[in-house]
Amino acid sequence: MARPAEFDRSKAVDRALRLFWRKGYQASSLADLLEAMGIGRSSFYAAFTDKRSLFIVCLDLFAERTLALLERSCAQRPPLDALQGFFEGDLFGGRGELRQWGCMLVNTALEMAGVDDGLAAHASRHLDRVQHAFQASLRTAGAPPALADDLAAMLMLVNEGVRVSSRRAAPDARSSPAIAAIFRLVRSAIAVPPVSREITL
């Protein structure tokens, strides 16, 4: 049997990630993946076993990149500015094409719920990690632990809504004022003394 042709694994995975991110798991066929990755069927199976295994690799990579971007931004800017930038998409360099694809983690949790609960749960665990990063940033910004937890949970709900909205190509003009308003609430909540720090929406 001929040996599968060698290829650049990292580049192939990155191309697969972009395809899955744009089209979703179910709509990305094996033929689509082979074409996008520039590899043959035998090389694919030798390196990744099957489509589901490759998808998990891509999902994990997307999560690590997202968390690394957020961590790097928080190290360079005030934490609330970094968080707001995350929601407004400027951590991705303002690339409209990528922003319109939403978040691969949110997309997967929605697409695979009731279809492949294992993949949906895997994406949800990564979303929990993102929420924990929100909590850490809010605590660095001065929020007491309980308030940071509550605000992080609220921001995750906002995050999921923003990413779904971006998939339906909602104009940025609609989302940006809403995000700014959310962060005015967050900044105000952190500045409120502990005895009266209730958020009224």
pLDDT tens-digit profile of 44-79?
Answer: 999 999 999 999 999 999 999 999 999 998 888 999
Helix (H) or strand (E) holding 29: none
Amino acid letter, residue 154: M
Helix ranges restricted to H, 77-192: 79-88, 96-99, 104-112, 117-140, 145-167, 172-191
In whole angstroms, give the CA distance from residue 136 to residue 86.
14
Q: What is the pTM of this model?
A: 0.85
Mean pLDDT along residues 112-120: 96
Q: Which two tokens stand for residue 171?
A: 């104009």
